[in-house]
Structure 1
Amino acid sequence: MENQLLTTTQAVDPVFIFILGCCFLLLLGITAAMIYFVIRYHRSRAPQPTSQRDGSLWLEVVWTALPTLLVIGMFYYGWSRYLVLREVPTGALKATAVARMWSWEFQYENGKTSDVLYIPVGKPVEVDLQSKDVIHGFFMPAFRIKRDVVPGMKNHVWFVADKAGSYDIFCSQYCGTGHSAMIAKAQALPPEQFAKWLSETTNGAENPAHELLEKYGCLGCHTEDGTKKVGPTFKGLYGSKVKVTVGGKEAEVVADDAYLHESIVAPAAKIVVGYPPVMPAQTIPEAEVKVIVDYLKNLK
């Protein structure tokens, strides 16, 4: 079978089973040999050594050659399948995964973005990997792929979803306090359904503020439903009293328009008590800041 016809699971699983099988056979063989020698050469059976030989050339050749051939075989089999994981099939759908603390954003060639990686069933997908801040790891257990996402370094993965469904995407590198919450989904759709989704031009236009929160990675640390994550929830924030640390001293402020604006453009100015000061500063156009603030005001 040619590399182009393999999927990532077809490339990885046989290698794993081969190595696991070899290890299992070696375990059985070594364990059986140990038990045999313990019984055969127990002191009660052989109180004195009976052999006068001090070595065996053929035995040393065998126990050196066989493990060497086995290791070389494992390496060759694994290397050949690793190359499959790096050679993207012709005609693959292209997407980009942008990682930031602590969320994923997925971009398509037509400009569409989403916090879910939508993919067509039965078609190879190539995902370029980018990081906005620190080292992350793109990990999809269902497709046996895991690749570092390093700032400034080009990297990619590819895979094929053979059936419709939802698949987990994790960050495999510890990237800070919100690492465990950096989880996204890949949604495999039938080709015609995926094509319809991809061709839609709204791309969140019904709720532009939510789209901006996704774009700047806000939802990686904050929620809109009251759930606490790395940062405080947006729900019910506007108009509430918030305990913050300013210049090393605690104070209580009202989450009004000015507070929300300052928290977006200068997140280190006031740190909410009980939460780590990990929100990165970003350059966000003033018009977009206003859209976000107006949206947060209505999350009651």
Structure 2
Amino acid sequence: MYILASTQASNFVSGVDRAFLVILGICFVFLIGLTVTMIYFIYRYDKKRNPQATQIKGSTTLEIVWTVIPVILVLVMFYYGWAGWKPMKSAPDDSFEIDVIARMWNFTFQYENGKKTDTLFVPMDKPVKLNMVSLDVVHSLYIPAFRVKEDVVPGREKFMWFIPQKEGIFDLFCTEYCGLSHSYMINSVKVVPQNEFDKWYTDTTATVASAAIDSPSAAGKRIMTNIGCFACHTIDGNKLVGPTFKGLYGHEARIKVGGDIKTVIADDEYIKKAILDPNSEIVEGYNKGFMQSYQGQLTDTEINQIIEYLKTIK
């Protein structure tokens, strides 16, 4: 079941909420106070009750009061904001670490035992550290129920950490506009008890069974779904950010190499090169730089499975 964001789902909820409520409360005090004062002045000093304007001289006491009080209030807001933010910048040494790869338009979660998922599985009541990298543009990983958010910047290693404290499924999504399908960059966090997580983490039978049952083409489709290929490419012939996969394999493709246009056959080598070095040859009519290399992200076996799936899209 999905848990509402107001639930105390992580160790950071109370600190962030406290800062929010303090700032909101101060804002409401000023809103109500200034509104009441404004209405009173409109009534008290209208033309009927105050026909002759009065020149009022400055007041040193008043100047000090409305300087000191706002400074104190700003420092109070800063303190609560800093107190909620500072613990987020230092993860415990015994944190369970997970690698997060952000790309247009997908988050992939990689575990130390080799598992890859598009849903973030974490154990309850244990510190979890997410080591995040972006392969293309700036993304921002946000888990509202945990009150944690961190920008993922290309070329920089970023991290966030938290202690999940509530079992359930929570929303995870990107909050930095990152292109055409930004709004579809939605994933989930599944928090389970430690013993259940350990069973899932160490159980490789499901993966082995899936590999044994799936045909290469079915495995290829699953891989492409997990790494977000269908966010940019269609299988029905329609154009999107990248060319359609429909009828691609074995057919001619007009590509731009440097300033020249040439025609090639979309065979195994062409597709493998398009996956590992996508910007060396650009299909005519499309722009360079939208797709990033999957070098080091996919094995030769996985690439071959992708090719087998592309052969089936006639």
Do both share a fold (TM > 0.5)?
yes
1:222 & 1:164 partners in 2: Cα distance?
A: 36
Query: Which residue number corresponds to residue 290 of structure 1?
Result: 304
What amino acid is aligned across from residue 112 of structure 1 in structure 2? K
1:94 offset after TM fit, Å?
A: 1.8
In structure 2, the residue matched to 1:280 is 292
1:143 alignment partner, one of 143, 146, 156: 146
- When structure 1 is superposed on structure 2, of 95-104 and 70-79 the one drifting more is 95-104
Contact 2:121 2:190 in 1 (8 A): yes
Match of 1:13 among 1, 7, 17: 17
Which shifted more, 39-48 or 21-30? 39-48
The runs of 5 or more residues in structure 1 that have no matched partner are 1-5
The residue correspondences of 1:41-52 to structure 2 (distance < 5 A) are 41-49=45-53
| Aligned with residue 106 of structure 1, among 89, 97, 109 | 109
- Aligned pairs (5 A) from 1:146-295: 146-202=149-205, 204-205=207-208, 206-207=210-211, 209=220, 212-213=223-224, 218=229, 221-222=232-233, 230-231=241-242, 260-261=271-272, 263-265=274-276, 267=278, 269=281, 271=283, 278-283=290-295, 286-295=300-309
CA distance in 1, matches of 2:239, 2:189: 24
Q: Which residue of 1 aligns with 2:214?
A: none
Q: Which residue identity lines up with residue 186 of structure 2 in the other structure? A: I
Q: Offset of 1:41 from its aligned partner?
A: 1.6
Q: Where does structure 2 lack aligned partners over 5 or more consecutive residues? A: 1-9, 212-218
Instruction: Answer whether contact 2:11 2:165 (CA < 8 A) is retained.
Output: no
Deviation, structure 1 residue 279: 2.4
> Residues 218-239 of structure 1, C-alpha deviation per residue, up to 9 Å, x if partnerless?
45545789999744676x6566
User: Using CA pairs below 8 Å that are at least 6 residues apart, which structure has the higher relative contact order?
Assistant: 2
Distance 1:227 1:116 in 2: 28
Deviation at 1:25, TM superposition (A): 1.1
Q: CA deviation at 1:149?
A: 1.2
**CA shift at 1:73, angstroms?**
0.7
Q: Does 1:82 align with 2:82?
A: no
- Aligned-partner residue type, residue 264 of structure 1: I
Which amino acid in 1 is paired with 2:81?
Answer: G
Greater CA drift, 192-201 or 164-173: 164-173
Q: Distance in 1 between matches of 2:74 and 2:114?
A: 47
Q: 1:107 to 1:175 in 2, by over 3 A?
A: same
Tell me what 1:64 maps to: 67
Aligned residues: 293
| Identity score, percent | 40
Alpha-carbon spacing, 1:99–1:194, altered in 2? closer, same or farther (3 Å): same
C-alpha change, 1:166 and 1:221, in structure 2 (3 Å) is farther
Alignment match of 1:132 (pick from 125, 130, 135) = 135
Amino acid in the other structure paired with 2:17: D
Q: Do the aligned partners of residues 224 and 123 (structure 1) sit closer, same or farther apart at CA in structure 2, a change above 3 Å counting?
A: farther
- 8 Å contact from structure 2 (residues 103, 134) kept in 1: yes
Distance between the aligned counterparts of 2:239 and 2:99, measured in 1? 28
Q: For the structure 1 residues 257 and 166, does the alpha-carbon distance in structure 2 shift closer, same or farther, using more than 3 Å as the test?
A: same
Q: Which moved more, 1:35-44 or 1:129-138?
A: 129-138
Per-residue deviation, residues 85-116 of structure 1 (Å, max 9, x unmatched): 22335643221211123221112233322221
Cα deviation digits, residues 259-283 of structure 1 (max 9, x gap): 645643554546386x665223444
**CA separation of 1:11 and 1:219: change in aligned 2, threshold 3 A:** farther
Residue pair 1:94, 1:125 contacting (<8 A) in 2 also: yes
Question: Aligned residue for 1:119?
Answer: 122
Report the Cα distance in structure 2 between the residues aligned to 1:49 and 1:101, rounded to whole angstroms.
63
Aligned equivalent of 1:30: 34
8 Å Cα contact 2:253/2:266 also seen in 1: no
Normalising by structure 1, we get a TM-score of: 0.78
